Structure 1
Amino acid sequence: MKNISALERRILNRIQEDLPFTPRPWRDMADELGIEEDSLLKSVAILKKKGIVRRISAVFDPRKIGSVSTLVAARVAPGNIHGAVKKINSYGEVTHNYRRAAEYNIWFTLIADNRKKITRIIDEIKGDKNIDKMTEFPAEKLYKIAVKFKA
């Protein structure tokens, strides 16, 4: 990532960590970085505009809040990608959706309140005329990774 400054790299590393549970978390993170709060907020806005940061949101462990998650791979003909993705993304339970250069070319994750709901959603998506085949990979173990940048 050549067009990212050393400061932006430090910011990216910091915002992936725990958000301070304080009245002014952005100010506190800015203090840690040795910059002004306004500078931090502007830098994050620029990173979002560049598409480097997609969103800043809470991340929950589905199992700890009583939810169930699964990874699903779909085989979709190239001409049917748009229709298939439209169907898949119509479900609020879909948290990520990626196109891959492989036989199974659409991969998405589902998080729902229970296994029955996951099964119902998968069955509904399988019924879409744009999708040739789907395979599910239920989560067995959670591995959390983070992207770290050399500042």
Structure 2
Amino acid sequence: MFDKVKRLFKKGNQEEIDEYVFVTEKEMNEDLKEIILKLERIGEKCGTDLQKKYVNKFKLQGKLNLRIWVCRDIDGDEDENLTSEQCFEKEYRSQLVIDYDGTKFEDDFYAYYVPLWYYFGGYFKGSGTLYDLSQKNLKTLLNG
């Protein structure tokens, strides 16, 4: 998926990147919440910057109305009132979404997305996956 995202912004060979950490429910605390909040803020800033930078280039390729933003949902239900403060609700997911009008590579709901945080759980226990900012730079990933 990341290769396809990177191809949107640059040409050349891409390498596969593993940039996620697994988080157990025991590790979910206020420190982790701050990391998630920071990650989503960086995602929002990254999306705004990239959208400004590439909107005209996308338009020239017939990809109209480029929009890059942090999308939050719980169990697939998007809600604009949903905030990072709810990141420990089961099935909460945040992702940096790239979408536009026009031909897309896949038949997904959005053209591309980069998962930031996902808290999944069963009846009694939960765990999550988190984009690892300590190892990877989100803006570099997308900008190439």
Q: What TM-score do the two structures reach when normalised by structure 2?
A: 0.22
Q: Which has the higher strand share?
A: 2
Q: Which has the larger radius of gyration?
A: 1
